[in-house]
A and B are shown apart, each in its own frame.
Chain A
């Protein structure tokens, strides 16, 4: 098996003491920041991205693999104990997890979340190991037209099909695409939308956009609408372990959730929100005592948590093999690659095989570190949650400004950070999704490049996108995804 030989060389990279150390640092910092209430994985990764500016690419990306998984586990801890889901994918966990904590069963809830994340993450990484080389082989046959069609498909599914409003999702996407146009055009060197400001010639950094929308926007929103509400933190009594009964009820849920989560992660379906709810519903249907759901059923934590982690790993398949981010977190991760001049995609598997497989191997390692680190340390993370809200948000904003400022050492980035914060505030208040804007910023320039390349090959003939069967099929699928639900609604109304 070619994949396993490559993976073995990847482990040789990931298990180097220095890289192992960065993996540990990543998991610890990811959990520490991810556990903060209201801080989801995308924000955690964005805030910690400037940390790695001076590391070598392999070490930095291995650290990011750790941060990615740590952030997710930290998020489930705060969801269970505080009932403040940091992202939509945690809402399903909050349903049962917080009830369990209220009933004094926070320990088993955290244990099934941690062990379930490990099981699902590891199985999903095995699936990734086997699937990635196949997708790479297919992707090598893609030309610019196919790539462009695939990106359009991803744009539309993440912004228009999911969420409560097609038009608000698309508006968010196009604001992101416009921000992506700022800076020097990679093909002609023409400056666009820079208005003579040197900081803007580099383009809008994904860190500034993500941290502004998520952290500053969230802080402004919570200050304005929630700062006078009382907060209720569930206490963690006893140890983080599970009884034999808990194990018996958890492991089938973990396995089913992995089977649901991973495939959903690999397609552009907006990350982990759908599979977590799907897993919750499946567990509720199959439960021997469905009446326990709503009052703290352990399957209702085990399933969604495992689905979340499996989907998060699945998201890495299109990211690593095609260079296409399908969630806000993946978009920020792609930004991390680009900081090192690396463009994920089939070519990276050939030109930088050691690095790519090192990152994949470090996913296994990161999962294992997460398990050995978090079960004993969970008491420490819980203490982070006990920090009063004023000091907590103050610390989050110190982190947020630190990340943005360290990019160019310029106040211009801080001014942009505040403007994006105001935008994030308005988007949160009027329910405009933030993810499409982040994905548009990072994927937009890549889509433009492929668009212009495809037209250059066809000598300016725009029918090239319909002449290639794969790209025509993808564009047809995109049209169907937008118009299908609308047409069904129109027909039903008759």
Chain B
């Protein structure tokens, strides 16, 4: 019988999410005026539903696997096996961007993101990718800040980009 660890983990994750939400709901006030239900009522309902649905998913996972699920074998889906390095490069790009955008600014953080993601997708020319990223981000920066008045951080490049940023 098919039994997938990932499906079991996801099912229990839904149960845990519901249980956590139920614990938070219990701390919310219950007085509700005329309606008789307070701000805690709908959270409690949603939490209960998540626990039930997680249980249902777990039951499916333990009794032959989720119904109509995609095949576990990547080749049967027409794909290659999970590539941890590609996944890690995309993640690294997003994390670096998250950490850097405030201080280094939109253009430099965006260029780093661009280079990391391109690397994850198999590009082998990081310097060229970073340069492309700078060009794209400068264009976006000018378009957003000058034309659409959306504020973006100029960061370390503030002297070059002018004072239009925030």
Q: Which residues of A are interface residues toward B (Cβ below 8 A)?
A: 50-55, 164-165, 167-168, 170-171, 174-175, 177-178, 181, 185, 187-188, 190, 192-193, 216, 219-220, 222-229, 388-391, 393-395, 397-399, 401-402, 405-406, 409, 411, 414-415, 417-418, 421, 426, 429-431, 448, 451-453, 455-457, 459-460
Q: Please encode chain B, from 90 to 122, with 1 for each CB lying within 8 Å of some chain A CB and 0 for all others.
A: 110111011101100010001001110111111
Chain B residues with Cβ under 8 A from A216's Cβ? 94
A185 and B83 within 8 A (CB): no
A323 to B145, CA, bound (A): 32
B101 and A405 within 8 A (CB): yes
The answer to the question of B2 belonging to the interface, with a C-beta cut-off of 8 Å to chain A, is no
Chain B residues with Cβ under 8 A from A50's Cβ? 150
Contact flag A401-B110 (CB < 8 Å), given A391-B129, A452-B32: yes
Chain A residues with Cβ under 8 A from B120's Cβ? 223, 227, 390
Which chain B residue has the least Cβ–Cβ distance from A418?
B94
A83 to B99, CA, bound (A): 37
Contact flag A51-B148 (CB < 8 Å), given A193-B24, A431-B68: yes
B66 and A398 within 8 A (CB): no
A58 to B34, CA, bound (A): 38
Closest CB-CB distance, A422 to chain B, in whole Å? 9
Contact flag A406-B144 (CB < 8 Å), given A177-B46, A430-B10, A452-B32: yes
Closest CB-CB distance, B86 to chain A, in whole Å? 4
Closest CB-CB distance, A18 to chain B, in whole Å? 14
Chain A residues with Cβ under 8 A from B26's Cβ? none
Our pick among A393, A398, A451 for the contact of B121 (Cβ within 8 Å) is A393
Q: Please encode chain B, from 66 to 78, with 1 for each CB lying within 8 Å of some chain A CB and 0 for all others.
A: 1111100010011
Q: 29 A-B pairs, CB-CB below 8 angstroms?
A: A51-B148, A53-B148, A53-B149, A54-B148, A54-B150, A164-B67, A165-B67, A177-B49, A178-B43, A178-B46, A181-B43, A181-B46, A187-B39, A224-B83, A227-B83, A227-B121, A390-B129, A391-B132, A394-B132, A398-B136, A399-B140, A402-B140, A406-B152, A409-B151, A409-B152, A414-B94, A430-B69, A430-B70, A459-B36
Enumerate B52-95 residues with CB–CB distance to A below 8 Å.
53-54, 56-57, 60, 66-70, 74, 77-84, 86-87, 89-91, 93-95
Closest CB-CB distance, A60 to chain B, in whole Å? 11
Contact flag A164-B144 (CB < 8 Å), given A171-B54, A391-B132: no
The answer to the question of B161 belonging to the interface, with a C-beta cut-off of 8 Å to chain A, is no
Closest CB-CB distance, B136 to chain A, in whole Å? 6
B28 and A390 within 8 A (CB): no
A228 to B74, CA, bound (A): 13
Chain B residues with Cβ under 8 A from A457's Cβ? 34
Chain A residues with Cβ under 8 A from B102's Cβ? 411
Chain A residues with Cβ under 8 A from B82's Cβ? 224-225
Which chain B residue has the least Cβ–Cβ distance from A186?
B39
A429 to B81, CA, bound (A): 12
Chain A residues with Cβ under 8 A from B101's Cβ? 401, 405, 411, 414
A448 to B44, CA, bound (A): 12
A431 and B69 within 8 A (CB): yes
Question: Chain A's interface: helix, strand, loop or mixed, by majority?
Answer: helix
A431 to B68, CA, bound (A): 9
The answer to the question of B50 belonging to the interface, with a C-beta cut-off of 8 Å to chain A, is yes
Which chain B residue has the least Cβ–Cβ distance from A184?
B39
A447 to B83, CA, bound (A): 42
Contact flag A165-B150 (CB < 8 Å), given A187-B39, A228-B122, A418-B95: no
Chain B residues with Cβ under 8 A from A188's Cβ? 29, 38-39
B110 and A402 within 8 A (CB): yes
B50 and A229 within 8 A (CB): no
The answer to the question of B159 belonging to the interface, with a C-beta cut-off of 8 Å to chain A, is no
Q: Please encode chain B, from 6 to 22, with 1 for each CB lying within 8 Å of some chain A CB and 0 for all others.
A: 11001000100100010
Which chain B residue has the least Cβ–Cβ distance from A449?
B42
Chain A residues with Cβ under 8 A from B142's Cβ? none
A391 to B57, CA, bound (A): 38
Chain B residues with Cβ under 8 A from A175's Cβ? 14, 17, 50
Contact flag A409-B166 (CB < 8 Å), given A51-B150, A174-B46, A219-B117: yes
Closest CB-CB distance, A350 to chain B, in whole Å? 27
Contact flag A391-B118 (CB < 8 Å), given A225-B79, A402-B140: yes
A406 and B94 within 8 A (CB): no
